[in-house]
């Protein structure tokens, strides 16, 4: 177990860190895959690992169990995602109490996504915004609270200025650090950080990096979250499509270049969206450390 468990304490040291995101498995086979992935990534000594949340909070008990296992059995520092979607205040309080009892110190507070094709609607006696959830956590618990941000604008926001104003509200509510949505052009991250600092947002902003391992998958994901693929990367992926090994090589090369530039630019760390697989992330970190 790391000496510092709270992520804000780790980031305060000023040394760039690596962290990973996983999602709860849906089948026994997927569970075995996830355990293999965590075992393969553990030697990298991540500062923390996060566990995502299902639509409408459908897998909340699984998330609690998984973060507890990661902490107690695997010996890594976990962060649990928690979303407003589908939960009343009492249900959220129960989840937070369970996480606190399990010795989990870090929570990523999210509004959450509605079912595909529907508009977001808060649950009865629930919250409509992540900033409300952050304030609720701050009112009763002593978690380190993370938040999400979008370098290229949240898909639901009408413009960059409105999106940034909402983010500032979330930070003022008590967010300790931010993790960005995936992006593939470092210029978008650095421009976003400049805008955030000008708006008075001074918490650490970790860039979120997802190595491309599947062309169709990344196209679907970028269309959902509003991120764009640079034309040069799009062309290389189109040429490699149908050859998984070549796609992986292109994805790793691009992400490695991103990470090098980000680290040279002074980022506080890099958060990898692993999709519960380790080869791409391991290759990138090995190249960076070499």
- Residues with a known catalytic role: 21
Give yes or no for a contact between 18 and 269, defined as CB atoms under 8 angstroms apart. Answer: yes
Residue 224 CA from chain centroid, whole number: 15
Backbone φ and ψ of 25, nearest 5°:
-70, 150
Distance CA 207, CA 190 (A): 10
Query: Which tokens belong to 145?
Result: 């609270």
Within 13 Å of residue 212, how many CA atoms lie on the same side as its CB?
A: 33
Q: Where are the beta strands (DSSP E) in the chain?
A: 17-22, 48-51, 78-83, 106-110, 144-149, 177-182, 205-209, 269-273
3-state helix, strand, coil in the chain (%, to 5): 50, 15, 35
CA atoms of 151 and 133, how far apart (whole Å): 22
Q: Which residues of 80-95 are buried (b: 16+ CB within 10 A; e: fewer)?
A: bbbbbbbbebeebeeb
Collapsed DSSP state (helix, strand, coil) of residue 180: strand
Task: Tell me if 180 sits within 8 A of 207, measured CB to CB.
Answer: yes
- For 232, other C-beta atoms within 10 Å of its C-beta total 10
Which residue stretches of 124-243 are H helix? 130-140, 160-172, 186-198, 215-225, 231-240
């Amino acid at each position: 177990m790391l000496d510092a468990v709270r992520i804000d304490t780790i980031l305060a040291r000023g040394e760039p860190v690596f962290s990973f995101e996983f999602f709860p498995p849906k089948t026994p086979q997927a569970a075995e895959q996830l355990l293999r992935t965590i075992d393969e990534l553990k030697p990298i000594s991540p500062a923390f690992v996060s566990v995502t949340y299902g639509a409408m909070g459908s897998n909340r008990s699984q998330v609690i169990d998984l973060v507890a296992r990661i902490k107690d059995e695997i010996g890594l520092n976990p962060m649990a995602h928690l979303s407003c979607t589908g939960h009343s205040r009492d249900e959220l309080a129960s989840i937070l109490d369970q996480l606190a009892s399990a010795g989990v110190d870090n929570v990523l507070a999210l509004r959450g996504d509605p079912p595909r094709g529907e508009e977001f609607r808060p649950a009865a006696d629930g919250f409509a915004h992540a900033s409300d959830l952050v304030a609720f956590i701050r009112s009763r618990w002593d978690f380190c609270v993370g938040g999400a941000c979008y370098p290229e604008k949240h898909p639901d926001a009408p413009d960059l200025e409105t999106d940034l104003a909402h983010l500032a509200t979330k930070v003022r509510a008590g967010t300790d650090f931010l993790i960005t949505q995936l992006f593939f052009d470092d210029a978008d991250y650095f421009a976003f950080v400049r805008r955030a600092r000008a708006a008075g947002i001074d918490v650490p902003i970790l860039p979120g990096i997802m190595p491309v391992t599947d062309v169709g998958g990344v196209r679907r994901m970028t269309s959902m979250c509003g991120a764009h693929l640079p034309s040069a990367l799009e062309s290389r992926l189109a040429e490699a499509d149908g050859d998984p090994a070549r796609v992986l090589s292109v994805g790793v090369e691009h992400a490695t270049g991103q990470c090098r530039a980000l680290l040279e630019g002074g980022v506080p760390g890099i958060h990898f969206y692993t999709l519960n697989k380790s080869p791409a992330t391991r290759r990138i970190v090995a190249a960076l450390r070499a």
